[in-house]
Amino acid sequence: MDRIHIRGGIPLRGEIEISGAKNAALPLMAASLLSDEPLILKNLPRLADIASMADLLTGLGVEIKLNGDNGNGGRTAELSAKHVTETTAPYDVVRKMRASVLVLGPLLARFGKARVSLPGGCAIGTRPVDLHLQAFEQLGAEIELAEGYIEARAPGGLTGAHVIFPMVTVGGTENLLMAASLAKGETVIGNAAREPEIADLARCLIAMGAEIEGAGTDTLRVQGCDALYGAQHQVLPDRIETGSYAVAAAITGGDIVLRNTRLDLLETATETLVRAGVTVEETSDGIRVAGTGGRLKGVDLMTEPFPGFPTDMQAQFMALMAVADGASMITETIFENRFMHVPELCRMGADINVHGSSAIVRGVERLSGAPVMATDLRASISLILAGLAAEGETIVNRVYHLDRGYERVEDKLAACGADISRQAE
Ligand code: EPZ
């Protein structure tokens, strides 16, 4: 397993190209199952999770051609589900990447059956998929759980219904939106998630011939079609990668221009940075973020579904608040166990106390470098960010977590002056 070594204290200056969004690319790749014509996706990021989804789809019989760069560093892939031979997503693939459950809706809608391993939990929580399954039952599917697998059948096809999610679920909204695109009649999705990745998926499905209204709102109205067609779609920029590097600029007192991204994708996160004293400006193709050089102010935040503060930015912001002037209360409302970065940050000298779903962070003057352990994707980047600001050397172990969601993180940060390298253990 690789390790990342960082010597902190250097203000980062330069430009970072933001990659396509992991959490948009994954459902978009699953959407290829909805048609027997090729779906061409541009600006795909080079990430372990994307490779896992490609492996899963190939195992189902989807032909995938990965072409070269399409200009701005992203990759183009052509996915053709003309000859799907399999409708089972096996345990050994699903356990590596929970988003595999997103093939359930498309398989059920197009082939009338699907057998998908229950994803199981992960480090940040139990991550159930009960809301996905209840939604499919409302569209007429028969769902059975047996031997750790979801057995779903809809031999006569799915029938549209009015589904109201009892809580906001990004994956549940995506799975249902894809299934509803091929159901008979109208499906209304109430209390739908509003994350930009959902609007991106809706745009792609519409390009494939789906009839969807309300993208970006909490109510989606879908008129089911008999078939969907081939299309081309550009994956939207990764707002969490954008926010993570914005924190890198802020925590080192540097000045970074983030390219190929959009301010409107993460306004609550950038507004929170501004409240802490960070300079954030919109540029022609992205955002410029500059630290003040002095200490930032401690600010409170609570994670919420979009457009609230993103849970995927909570760990990164905690690293920033660890060196702010004053206290910050950070409340995690989405996942039940998303504070695993806390003990590792405390080993670097942070003063953080967790009380249930809230953490009180009392800023310290400087963190000190230390060997630390990555436990999950966003905790990993939080430790990298802390290492960039810490005095001395930080060694982050188990960086395979990092590679699931950050493309070439050491290259992008080194290009802005960071003393960072990856070493094989
Ligand atoms: C997506 O996960 C993202 N993953 C997560 O990003 C992100 O943190 C999360 O949305 C919230 O924004 C992808 O898009 C691949 P949810 P998802 O369904 O869809 C509960 C990252 O770091 N719930 O919105 O799994 C669930 O337990 C990852 O990139 C149910 O109870 O999230 C959680 O508490 C981490 N039953 C809450 O809802 C269900 O059937 C939100 O989950 C579904 C969800």
- Report how far ligand 1's centroid is from the alpha carbon of 174 (Å): 11
| pLDDT, tens only, 94-130 | 988 899 999 999 999 999 999 999 987 777 888 899 9
- Rounded CA-CA distance 411/401 in Å is 17
| pLDDT, tens only, 220-237 | 999 999 999 999 999 999
- Rounded CA-CA distance 272/257 in Å is 18
**Positions of E strands within 154-267:** 162-164, 186-190, 211-213, 219-223, 231-234, 255-259
The reported pLDDT for the residue numbered 76 is 95
Mutate to test the pocket of ligand 1, among 312, 332, 404 (most ligand atoms within 8 A of CB): 312
What's the whole-model pTM score?
A: 0.97
- Rounded CA-CA distance 347/343 in Å is 6
Across the chain, mean pLDDT equals 96
C-alpha distance from residue 287 to each of 24, 253, 276, 332 (Å): 20, 16, 17, 26
| Residue identifier of the C-alpha nearest atom 37 of ligand 1 | 334
The number of C-alpha atoms within 13 Å of 63 and in the hemisphere containing its C-beta is 6
| pLDDT, tens only, 244-276 | 999 999 999 999 999 999 999 999 999 999 999
Is residue 390 within 8 Å of 366, Cβ to Cβ? yes
List ligand 1's pocket residues with C-beta within 6 A. 23, 26, 99, 125, 127-132, 167, 169-172, 311-312, 334-335, 377-378, 405
The reported pLDDT for the residue numbered 122 is 79
Our answer to whether residue 122 is catalytic in this structure is yes
Catalytic residue among 122, 204, 225, 416: 122
| Residue identifier of the C-alpha nearest atom 4 of ligand 1 | 23
- Rounded CA-CA distance 311/305 in Å is 8
| Residue identifier of the C-alpha nearest atom 22 of ligand 1 | 312
- Report how far ligand 1's centroid is from the alpha carbon of 169 (Å): 6
| Residue identifier of the C-alpha nearest atom 13 of ligand 1 | 23
Q: Of all atoms in ligand 1, which is nearest to the CA of residue 311?
A: 8
| pLDDT, tens only, 178-219 | 999 999 999 999 999 999 999 999 999 999 999 999 999 999
Contacts of 134 (CB under 8 A, 6+ apart): none
**CA trace torsion 344, 348, 353, 358 (10° rounding):** -60
Mean pLDDT calculated for residue range 354-381: 97
